[in-house]
Amino acid sequence: MNRLFTLSITALLILTTGAFAQKSPVKKAGVAKPKTPMVTTGATDGKTVYLQNCLTCHQADGGGVPNMNPPLIKTDYVLGDKTRLIKIVLNGFNDRVEIEGEMYNNVMPSLNHLTDKQIADVLTYVRSNFGNKASAVSATEVKKLRGK
């Protein structure tokens, strides 16, 4: 009797553990890929990508650092041609630009280790924050320009 009891407890434990083991990956997958509309996802993920990859130079408010790193506020580069903008992130940028009367000679490194989606999200974030109002950038647009 005693042995049977122990056995059934063991079986119950195995069953419970099994149920947990099965449940957790499903839950994780749900968190990693939320089924929210493109634009919302871009805004959220884009901010994270910005904080981790652009903030050190361009600052939290996109204001940049005078004579070192240009601002991302309503510049032609940010609001204008998406191809040129995407290429800046993919290939880096070293063009001696003049923005709002300040010269910028520092080199921006290539950030092509970021995925197509991360670049699309961060550029969408930049184009719709810091007082900017421009259309979203898609991962497909980034993909087309990678390696060019």
Question: 122 and 138 in contact (C-beta within 8 Å)?
Answer: no
Closer to ligand HEC at the Cβ: 34 or 109?
A: 109
Nearest approach in angstroms of CB 44 to ligand HEC is: 16
Long-range contacts of 90-94 (CB under 8 A, 24+ apart): 90/119, 90/142, 90/145, 90/146
Within 8 A by CB and 6+ apart from 71, the residues are 58, 62, 63, 64, 99, 100, 130
* Distance in Å, CB of 97 to ligand HEC, minimum: 5
Q: Cβ closer to ligand HEC: 3 or 111?
A: 111
Please say which residue, 58 or 117, places its beta carbon nearer to ligand HEC: 58
User: What minimum distance in Å lies between the beta carbon of 141 and ligand HEC?
Assistant: 14
Q: How far is the CB of 75 from ligand HEC (least distance, A)?
A: 3
Residue 118 CB-density burial (10 A; 0-12 exposed, 13-18 middle, 19+ buried): buried
How many angstroms separate the CA atoms of 50 and 42, rounded? 11
Q: Could you list the residues that contact ligand HEC (CB under 6 A)?
A: 53-54, 56-58, 69-72, 75, 77-78, 85, 88-89, 93-97, 99, 104-106, 108-109, 111, 122, 126
Query: Residue 105 or residue 140: which is nearer to ligand HEC going by CB?
Result: 105
